[in-house]
Chains A and B, each alone.
Chain A
Amino acid sequence: ETGVTQTPRHLVMGMTNKKSLKCEQHLGHNAMYWYKQSAKKPLELMFVYNFKEQTENNSVPSRFSPECPNSSHLFLHLHTLQPEDSALYLCASSPSREMNTEAFFGQGTRLTVV
């Protein structure tokens, strides 16, 4: 257990559905991250929140909408996704966005868009 919990672990959704992924950490960390792992591609950083403020959006389409209501929770709202968005979505947290700190990852949500 890393202290970072993601729910659900698996999700199947249609292209017209709206769903949300949830990430929770009680490690006292102030930075939280969403990553995407597509089949046969390297891990990609999607969004970064530092002290509840979004600090990075790495050219992610607007059908992915992050939300960070407090330092312990991070959501990824999904709307009108495409089959190519099927991937493993990983959440991570770290003490802060400072680069020399290690990140702790959740186990991921395996998303399938049909």
Chain B
Amino acid sequence: ILNVEQSPQSLHVQEGDSTNFTCSFPSSNFYALHWYRWETAKSPEALFVMTLNGDEKKKGRISATLNTKEGYSYLYIKGSQPEDSATYLCAFETSYDKVIFGPGTSLSVIP
């Protein structure tokens, strides 16, 4: 059974703080790792698609790293803002076309 874990489950930070969370996935049969942001009452929004070990991607204040050998990815948010409040999902895509989502990390940024 393929298992994707995310930690922490939820997080409360003050506005301006930087934060990070983790996605853990199987280290075999890796094809891609996706990060999504899902705000309440909105559609999930794709943040990054990462395919290569050592990949680092950045979009504004948000960045992500990937380690496929040990099976983890970190998502970093620099200088959190209230509009960053959302659930952050990672999804592990296998080389045989399976996609497994993690349970998400719920981030609340307190003004």
Interface string of A71-114 (1 = CB under 8 A from B): 00000000000000000001010000001111111111000000
Closest chain-B Cβ to A33's Cβ sits at a distance in Å of 9
Q: Are A90 and B49 in contact (CB under 8 A)?
A: no
Q: Are A44 and B101 in contact (CB under 8 A)?
A: yes
Q: Which residue of chain A is the closest to B44 with respect to CB atoms? A: A105
Near A by CB (< 8 A), chain B positions 7-36 give 31-32, 34
Q: Contacts of A58 on B, CB cut-off 8 Å?
A: 98
Near A by CB (< 8 A), chain B positions 30-82 give 31-32, 34, 41-46, 49, 51
A2-B43, A99-B31 in contact; A56/B97 too (CB < 8 A)?
yes
Q: Contacts of A99 on B, CB cut-off 8 Å?
A: 31-32, 49, 51, 93
Given A45-B99, A99-B49, A101-B49, output 19 extra A-B contacts at Cβ < 8 Å: A2-B45, A42-B100, A42-B102, A42-B104, A43-B44, A43-B89, A48-B97, A90-B43, A99-B51, A100-B32, A100-B49, A102-B46, A102-B49, A103-B34, A103-B46, A105-B43, A105-B44, A107-B41, A108-B43
How many inter-chain contacts with C-beta < 8 Å in the A-B complex? 49
Q: Contacts of B45 on A, CB cut-off 8 Å?
A: 2, 105
**Which residues from chain B sit less than 8 Å from chain A, CB to CB?**
4, 31-32, 34, 41-46, 49, 51, 89, 91, 93, 97-104
Q: Contacts of B104 on A, CB cut-off 8 Å?
A: 42
Q: Are A43 and B101 in contact (CB under 8 A)?
A: yes
Q: Are A107 and B46 in contact (CB under 8 A)?
A: no
Q: Contacts of A108 on B, CB cut-off 8 Å?
A: 43
- Interface of A, helix, strand, loop or mixed by DSSP: loop
Q: Are A107 and B42 in contact (CB under 8 A)?
A: yes
Q: Are B46 and A106 in contact (CB under 8 A)?
A: no
Closest chain-A Cβ to B82's Cβ sits at a distance in Å of 21
Q: Are B43 and A107 in contact (CB under 8 A)?
A: yes
